[in-house]
Copies of this chain bind each other. A is one copy, B any other.
Amino acid sequence: MTTAIKTARRRNPRGRGERLREEILEAATRIVAETGGASQLSLRGVAREVGIAATSVYLHFPDIDQLKAVLVDRGFAELNQARMAAMKGITDPAAALRARWGAYGQFAVDHPGIYRLMFGPHLPAAQAFDSPDSPGRQAFLAAVDAIRHCQEAGMASTDDDPFRLATLVWAAVHGTASLRLDRPNFPWPPLDEMVDDLIQRIIGVPRDGATALDVAMKP
């Protein structure tokens, strides 16, 4: 929490009231990042961080849960961007799969607070895979497709249902990331290495450096 004295805030000019909404979201993001979770997130705490009266939060959010929901939505958007950036220019399906889940794990480690919020308990149904267009569901289905591409490229066995494989990988990578956050003193191998290893073992996709040809020649 930032305890430094803030320079007195000036009210936003007429017609720019929405700026405060943005400041509130930024402050909440900061608190979640600094405390490593949302359990400390309070309406009054956010107001304090912004430097406004507690009641001013009501001008933009009916309650703290609505604010959290926006944080989660932004978290998913940021995770999507990070994943797309990591996958950019990669054509090999196996490398793309590794990049995809590597970005996921890295996001969790880089943003523990928001990650816990996104994948922890107490998430409203609309954001937690329930609605067909929930961001998590969209991303998961894209991950299923990514596995299918590996299968179609002959890089993974077609005996397995890609949805099931994606489920296994998600569980494994989520466990890797969240245990790392919650048990920082365990002697973890490097994150990327561990994610790659899990993907290789679960999907059967070749490890870095190998090509589809290597796999085709294996049996």
Residues of chain A at the chain B interface (Cβ within 8 Å): 36-37, 39, 116, 119-121, 123, 125, 128-130, 136, 164, 167-168, 170-176, 178-179, 181-183, 185-186, 188-189, 194, 197-198, 201-202, 204
Contacts and interface: CB of A to CB of B under 8 A. Distances in A.
Contacts of A170: 175, 179
19 contacts: A36-B121, A37-B121, A39-B39, A123-B182, A128-B183, A129-B185, A130-B185, A136-B183, A164-B197, A167-B186, A167-B188, A168-B198, A171-B172, A172-B175, A172-B176, A173-B175, A174-B175, A175-B176, A198-B202
Copies in the complex: 2
Contacts of A167: 186, 188-189, 194
B186 A129 contact: yes
Nearest to A137: B186
Contact of A121 (B173, B182, B186): B182
A63 B176 CA distance: 32
A197 B168 contact: yes
B174 A179 contact: yes
- The A interface, classified by DSSP as helix, strand, loop or mixed, is helix
Contacts of A175: 170-176, 178-179
Contacts of A198: 168, 171-172, 202
Nearest to A37: B121
A186 B130 CA distance: 8
A171 B183 contact: no
Contacts of A171: 172, 175-176, 179, 194, 198
Q: Which of A37, A183, A194, A204 has the most CB of B within 10 A?
A: A183
Contact of A168 (B39, B120, B178, B194): B194
B121 A201 contact: no
A169 to B, nearest CB: 9
B121 A168 contact: no
Nearest to A197: B168
